[in-house]
Amino acid sequence: MKLLYFFSLLLILPSLNVLAQAKTDQDIDMAYQNAKKGIYWALSNIPGKKATLDNELIAEDKLYATVKLSKEINGVKVVSTGYYQTNKVEITIYKSYESLKSEGYNVPSSGWEGD
C-alpha cells in the first residue's frame, strides 16, 4: 500500500510543476501583449514637434503599459513596458523614418529629417 502511495505521488508532483509553469507562461505572455499594445500606440501617435512622448495606458483601473517614444537621428526609439498582475515585460524598438513610412505610419513631414 505504501509503495502504491509513493508511486502515485511520483506521478502527481511533476504534473503540478507543469501547471505552475503554464500559468507563469500565460502571465508573461499577457504582459508581453500589453507591451506590444504600447508599441503600437506609440507608433500610431508620433508627435509632430515634440522630441519625446511619455504615456501610460490605463483601462479599468489597471496599468497596462508605460510608453516612451523619443526622436533619434533618422528614426525613433520606443520603449514599452507591459504589466500583467505581478509580471513586467519591457520591449525596446528602433525604427527609421523610411521604415515607418513604408509600414504606413503617419510620420510628420517637417521637423524630423534634421533632428
Residue 1 scores a pLDDT above 80:
no
Q: What are phi and psi of 45, to 5 degrees?
A: -130, 45
87-96: strand order across its sheet: 52-59, 62-72, 75-84, 87-96
Convert the pLDDT of each residue in 27-44 to its tens digit.
999 999 999 999 999 999
pLDDT of residue 74: 87
Give domain limits for the chain: 2-102
pLDDT of residue 52: 92
pLDDT of residue 114: 44
The Cα 94–Cα 77 span in angstroms is 5
Convert the pLDDT of each residue in 46-64 to its tens digit.
888 888 999 999 999 999 9
pLDDT of residue 84: 96
Q: What's the predicted TM-score (pTM) here?
A: 0.76
Q: Taking residues 9-33, report their average pLDDT.
A: 77
C-alpha cell at 16: 503540478
- Structure confidence at residue 115 as a pLDDT band (50, 70, 90): very low
Other CB atoms within 10 Å distance of the CB of residue 103: 10
